[in-house]
Amino acid sequence: MSRYDRLIAALRVAAQPDRPVPPDFAAYVEKVRTRAYTVTDSDVDALKAAGHSEDEIFEQTISAAVYAGLLRLDAGLEAMAR
């Protein structure tokens, strides 16, 4: 148990990893989760052109990135425990 457990638990809830991803966002969210370093302005521009607001894009981006980060944290903690 660490001093961060409560904060990490709250972050897991806030990231809402189980919420459905709108179809227009599926490829983008997968890209953020698995290859965030490849996201470009054109990815965001395509979502804007499809009618999505910057707030909507931001929320999907943060949710996917936080979830991916937590998965990596879990993998690291598990590896350290071995």
Q: How much is the average pLDDT of 44-67?
A: 95
Predicted confidence at residue 1, as pLDDT, reads: 67
Residues 6+ away with beta carbon under 8 Å from 67: 15, 17, 33
Task: Assess whether pLDDT exceeds 70 at residue 27.
Answer: yes
Q: Is the dihedral of CA 43, 44, 49, 51 positive or negative?
A: positive
Using DSSP, how many helices (H) and how many strands (E) does the chain show? 4, 0
Task: Assess whether pLDDT exceeds 90 at residue 15.
Answer: no
Q: Is 17:64 a contact under the CB 8 Å cutoff?
A: no
67 residue type, one letter: Y
Phi, psi of 2 (to 5 degrees): -120, 170
Q: How much is the average pLDDT of 23-34?
A: 95
Q: pTM surpassing 0.75? A: yes
Task: Assess whether pLDDT exceeds 80 at residue 74.
Answer: yes
For the chain, give the longest Cα–Cα distance.
48
